[in-house]
Structure 1
Amino acid sequence: MHRVLLPLLAIGLSGCVGTDPGHLTQTDWVLVELNGQAVPKLPHPATLHFEDGHVSGSNGCNRYHGTYAFDPAARSLHFGRVASTMMACVNGMQVERGFMAALATTDGYTLRADELTLDRAQVPMARFEVLSAP
């Protein structure tokens, strides 16, 4: 019995690493706090959208896209190369700089109900809430 059960258990658990906890990618996220400070209302709020290893959205001023990898068991999250448009805007540049810095240095995340936090060394950098439909 153990000879059959252990390999099946190992196969089942290996399928969990790297799989999506659902709520992370089936949700659009809007930035509400950056480095402990509330994010001001912007014409184009900073957002995250995860799908099939790709991340995209607005960084508060420009559109961006890139890649990500995560391990739900270890609560690790890393963003790969992220490219963005380069339009100048009066409002949002400070948020954009902080947002892009957070993506570049994220090594973990916390996901609770309708809240996502990007962390570096277990310190929260950016907090997101579920983006509700207009």
Structure 2
Amino acid sequence: MKIEVRSLFLSTVVFLITILLSACGQISAKDPLNKTAWSLSAIDETPSMKGTKVTVDFSDGQISGSAGCNSYGGSYKIKGEKITISSLVMTMMACQDTGVMEQEQTFIQYLQDAQTFKVNGEQLQIFSSDDKVLVFIPQK
């Protein structure tokens, strides 16, 4: 009797692990941004400021990067071409160079308001609700 119960228990555990692992694979397959890293190229049609490194990394539902002089992180969800970025947190260091703080604030605002995204070859575009766009190229 103990052997049958133990065998049933082990079979159930193996079955559940198999289901969980296959579910994880399906989530990754539906997320074309997973395990990618990008550098900001432009905000709307304005090129990003020279000398600033604005980045975004996507990994397993987490987003992180540099906003110019502060680091940020949060979570994201993908459903088709829709993207939701939430729970953003950011360090609060003062930016010394002129214009960096303004670019950083605009960048974070657009990220928080992200609605859709598009990957065109070597370019990622993230659109806000009013069609403002962040344009990225792959990180080198």
Unaligned runs of 5+ in 2: 1-25
Partners of 1:119 and 1:101 in 2: how far apart?
11
Deviation at 1:18, TM superposition (A): 7.7
- Within the candidate set 30, 48, 54, 1:19 is matched to 30
How do 1:1-134 and structure 2 match up within 5 A?
Answer: 15=26, 19-21=30-32, 24-43=33-52, 45-71=53-79, 73=80, 75-91=81-97, 92-121=100-129, 123-132=131-140
Higher mean alpha-carbon deviation, 119-128 vs 53-62, is at: 119-128
Q: Structure 1, residues 39-69: CA drift from partner, whole Å, max 9, x if none?
A: 11124x1100001110000001100000001
SS in 2 for 1:123: coil
Higher relative contact order (CA 8 A, sep 6+): 1
Does the 8 Å contact 2:70/2:90 carry over to 1? yes
Greater share of helix: 2
> Normalising by structure 2, what TM-score?
0.73
User: CA separation in 2, counterparts of 1:37 and 1:116?
Assistant: 16
Q: List 4+ stretches of structure 1 deviating above 6 A.
A: none
TM-score, normalised by the number of residues in structure 1 = 0.77
Q: How many residues align?
A: 113
